[in-house]
């Protein structure tokens, strides 16, 4: 599966056993957040002031200021297509009972702050590695929480490939996904490649659209209804047919899913690829 962000000019691929933004039943969940630096007003360091400082730090190979709640031992600079990024792991936030498993990459691209997070399954990891956890009945009841003195060892074991099967799969899958990141103009070549082929409407099985040879063709009940030239302009699809121009915003484009918003009315058009 491929996620593309035309405004930040990046693409990233992820395997079928990973959910995207909570959609699905896989054990692992991927989120990709891209926000223009000028509009940042987030908490935990995800704000404009911190972003501008970290842009300059990363340019010269320095980690810069912390965002989120990184485990100190996990903080490092990672190069993505020649660009420096903060990489870190988050295991807890705010209060003693909190337990999370998140590997994160944080960087800047095309005046956007980009944060990529792969979350691991809490209950499965807790069950697989009880030696890192304890209980605190006064504050958390019988719920398993971190033995905070062992968080660094937990990370060290994972980095050395010695974690349990489920936690090592989560840890290693993050590296596999990050290696697929493509930045800048190559992204739009991928967009053009992905949209090629036949797509069936999810709202009307008789409606099919086809992209190929620079043309978009509409079919209904196997009858050709219209044809026009198309081009992609960042996240927009523009079709010219019979002296008319039709514009759509690309909401989602992957190897299996195409979701468009027809402008200016805002109609959502959902398609799946015809194999």
Which residue ranges make up each domain of the chain?
Answer: 2-183, 196-273
- Report how far apart, in Å, the C-alpha atoms of 146 and of each of 28, 88, 131, 134, 203 are: 20, 18, 10, 6, 47
Cα separation of 228 and 38, whole Å? Answer: 38
- Cβ proximity of 91 and 167 under 8 Å: no
Q: Domain spanning 196-273 has what CATH number?
A: 2.40.128.280
- Sheet containing 18-20: give its strands across: 18-20, 28-36, 112-119, 102-109, 83-90, 76-80
Task: Tell me the pLDDT tens digit for each residue of 135-176.
Answer: 999 999 999 999 999 999 999 999 999 999 999 999 999 999
Residue of 256, 110, 109 lying closest to 197 (CA atoms): 256
Is the pTM higher than 0.75? The answer reads no
Each of the 275 residues of the chain gets a pLDDT tens digit; together they read 767 676 777 889 899 899 988 878 899 999 999 999 999 999 999 999 999 999 999 999 999 999 999 999 999 999 998 899 999 999 999 999 999 999 999 999 988 999 999 999 999 999 999 999 999 999 999 999 999 999 999 999 999 999 999 999 999 999 999 999 988 754 444 678 889 999 999 999 999 999 998 899 999 999 999 999 998 876 789 999 878 899 999 988 888 899 999 998 889 999 999 97
Residues 6+ apart with CB under 8 A from 139: 96, 97
Residues 6+ apart with CB under 8 A from 12: 2, 3, 32, 116, 177, 178, 180, 181, 182
């Amino acid at each position: 599966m491929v996620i593309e962000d035309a405004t930040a000019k990046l693409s990233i691929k992820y395997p079928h056993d990973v959910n995207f933004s909570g959609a699905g039943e896989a054990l692992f969940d991927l989120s990709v957040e891209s926000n223009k630096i000028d509009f940042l007003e987030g908490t935990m360091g995800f704000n404009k002031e911190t972003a501008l400082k970290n842009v300059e730090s990363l340019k010269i190979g320095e980690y810069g200021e912390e965002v989120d709640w990184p485990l100190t031992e996990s903080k490092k600079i990672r190069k993505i297509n020649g660009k420096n990024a903060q990489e870190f792991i988050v295991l807890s936030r705010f209060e003693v009972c909190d337990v999370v498993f998140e590997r994160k990459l944080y960087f800047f691209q095309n005046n956007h702050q980009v944060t990529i997070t792969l979350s691991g399954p809490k209950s499965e990891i807790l069950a697989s590695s009880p030696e890192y956890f304890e209980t605190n009945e006064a504050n958390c009841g019988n719920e398993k929480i971190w033995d905070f003195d062992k968080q660094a060892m937990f990370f060290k074991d994972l980095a050395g490939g010695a974690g349990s099967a489920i936690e090592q799969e989560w840890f290693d899958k993050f590296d596999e996904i990050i290696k697929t990141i493509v930045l800048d103009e190559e992204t739009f070549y991928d967009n053009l490649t992905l949209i090629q082929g036949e797509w069936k409407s999810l709202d009307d099985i008789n409606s099919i659209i086809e992209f190929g040879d620079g043309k978009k063709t509409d079919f209904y009940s196997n009858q050709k209804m219209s044809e026009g030239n198309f081009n992609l302009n960042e996240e927009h699809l523009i079709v010219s047919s019979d002296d008319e121009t039709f514009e759509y915003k690309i909401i989602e484009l992957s190897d299996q899913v195409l979701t468009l918003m027809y402008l200016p009315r805002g109609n959502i058009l959902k398609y799946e690829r015809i194999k």
